[in-house]
Structure 1
Amino acid sequence: MTLSCSVLLVALLLFQAPSLLTLAEDNSIPGEWVLLHVVQGHIGAGNYSYLRLNHDGRIILHMQSLKGDADLYVSDKTLHPNFDTYKLQSVTCGPDMVVVPGDFTRPVGIGIYGHPSYLESEFEMRVFYDQTVPQDPFDTDSYASEGERNEMKSPHRAEEDFQEEESIFWTILIGLLKIVLEILF
């Protein structure tokens, strides 16, 4: 009876170990950081999953690979960063962390890459806002309301969406022309 209780207690402790490690890990997060989002997902070997960051200010992306190995690529120039086109990266075999500066143009593209040495990678990314960075008092956007800021940014976003749609159109058109030329000649 005592042996079975001991085995049960050890099994319970082993089952709870991951959550205890997560709690210990969370204690290393500064109190000034505000948790904005928790994103969980799966990614296949050699594939990308893309996210878009719209929050202003200094943002911390803290990603933990729960299974396999997921890597993190960030850019304010493209919404689809990869290992060829990125501004910031974290490609460790353990926890990955990237600090997105407040002066990055929004939206910021986030690429999560599933390392090819694993068939599938599972990840959890926590998105934090760093309150310790002071707001620039001379920044004209800081005095605008949320709606006014969205109105100021929307013409650029509409232009980027139009260019992306135009690019897709030309890609499809060129593909169709290649097929027609291949059939004819």
Structure 2
Amino acid sequence: MMLCCSGLVVALLLSQARGFLQAPDDDGVPEEWVLLHVVQGHIGAGNYSYLRLNHDGRIILHMRSLKGDADLYVSDKTLRPNFDTYKLQSATCGQDVVVVPGDFMRPVGISIYGHPSHQESEFEMRVFYDQTAPQDPYDKGSYPAEDEQEQQKAPQAAEDDFQEEESIFWTILIGLLKIIVEILF
């Protein structure tokens, strides 16, 4: 009985040791993701490093702090997002992951922030394209993008508002003139 238990303990220890000795399989990244870029850098405490993302589609940013603590901020409204102005963020002490949706306006602003708890932070960020994300079934070249349609509608809407205001103005003015004419004649 004792020999059986010690054999199980040895088998368990060997399986754990094998897990430590084997190289990790890309941090659990699915095979369908295509590696686009690897960005490495250093960032001082309280400072930002800015990047710009122009790739279309669903993009996954995998960043890990090799030394210190680097945080990730992402925005499609500004090219210099920070901890006050961002749309997506990951501020962990270890691995930071942000999924940039395909419908974000391009270019996307990316900031890497060096947390003040460390004098300097060293990071490595891998940028992946997710091939499994559903694509737009309409060809972008055939139809105007939603933003273009909105821009085309915006001047029309402004013109309609102006015509409505002008119409109300003339209605009131004609009404006042009729009242004045009735009083005078």
TM-score normalised by structure 1 residue count: 0.64
Q: Which residue of 2 aligns with 1:98?
A: 98
Q: Which residue of 2 aligns with 1:12?
A: none
Q: Which residue of 1 aligns with 2:87?
A: 87
Identity of aligned residues (%): 79
Q: Matches of residues 1-185 of structure 1 in structure 2 within 5 Å?
A: 23-26=23-26, 28-141=28-141
How many Å separate the matches in 2 of 1:27 and 1:105? Answer: 28
CA displacement, residues 129-169 of structure 1 (integer Å, 9 cap, x when unaligned): 0000121112524x69xxxx9xx9xxxxxxxxxxxxxxxxx
The residue identity in structure 1 corresponding to 2:43 is I
Q: Aligned partners of 1:25 and 1:32: how far apart in 2?
A: 14
Q: Runs in 1 of length 4+ with deviation above 4 angstroms?
A: none
Q: Counterpart of 1:140 in 2: which secondary structure?
A: coil
Could you tell me how far apart the structure 2 residues matched to 1:27 and 1:47 are?
27
Please give the root-mean-square deviation of Cα atoms over the aligned residues, in Å.
2.2
Structure 1 CA distance for aligned equivalents of residues 44 and 130 of structure 2: 31
Measure the CA separation in 2 of the matches of 1:137 and 1:56. Answer: 15
CA–CA separation in structure 1 for the residues paired with 2:93 and 2:27? 21
Q: Name stretches of at least 5 consecutive residues in structure 2 with no aligned partner.
A: 1-19, 149-185
- The residue type paired with residue 79 of structure 2 is L
What is the number of residues matched between the two proteins?
126
Q: Distance in 2 between matches of 1:80 and 1:136?
A: 28
Q: Which amino acid aligns with 2:87?
A: K
SS of residue paired to 1:24: coil
1:171 aligns to what? Answer: none
Aligned partner of 2:75: which letter? S
- State the one-letter code of the partner of 1:66: L
1:67-102 Cα deviation digits (max 9, x unpaired): 000000000000000000000000000100000000
Task: Supply the AA of the counterpart residue of 1:90.
Answer: S
- What's the counterpart of residue 152 of structure 2? none
Aligned counterparts of 2:101 and 2:76: Cα–Cα separation in 1: 10
